[in-house]
Amino acid sequence: GAGVSQTPSNKVTEKGKYVELRCDPISGHTALYWYRQSLGQGPEFLIYFQGTGAADDSGLPNDRFFAVRPEGSVSTLKIQRTERGDSAVYLCASSSLPNYGYTFGSGTRLTVV
């Protein structure tokens, strides 16, 4: 597609539930990133994929968070046993190397109640 597509745009879930957030990057972009943005803050790095592999997952806050990109295109961010503190906008971005600028999606607003 023309841009980075994220679905759903909004997700409300109950504490303790499992959620999946999807990112469809720009066609041909080999690099894919997940960031999390809390209210009033800048985005924080979660994980970076180069192709199918997670090249850097140092930003994942704990083992409840996991992300995959099995075919080197679409990626899914998975959150187990959600907590209220997980509420934020989850942003996906893609780029073609070298990285001199990302294209971000519009994000998924996750609310844990």
Partner 1 sequence: TQLLKQSPQFLSIQEGENLTVYCNSSSVFSSLQWYRQEPGEGPVLLVTVVTGGEVKKLKRLTFQFGDARKDSSLHITAAQPGDTGLYLCAGEIIQGAQKLVFGQGTRLTINP
The footprint of partner 1 (CB under 8 A) covers 4, 31, 33, 35, 40-45, 48, 50, 55-56, 58-59, 91, 93, 98-107
How far, in Å, CA of 40 to CA of 98, rounded? Answer: 30
Nearer CB in complex with partner 1: 33/65: 33
Q: Which CB, 5 or 13, lies closer to partner 1? A: 5
20 versus 44: smaller Cβ distance to partner 1:
44
| Shortest distance in whole angstroms from residue 36 CB to partner 1 | 11
Conformational region of residue 2, where left means phi above 0, alpha means psi within -120 to 50, and beta covers everything else? alpha
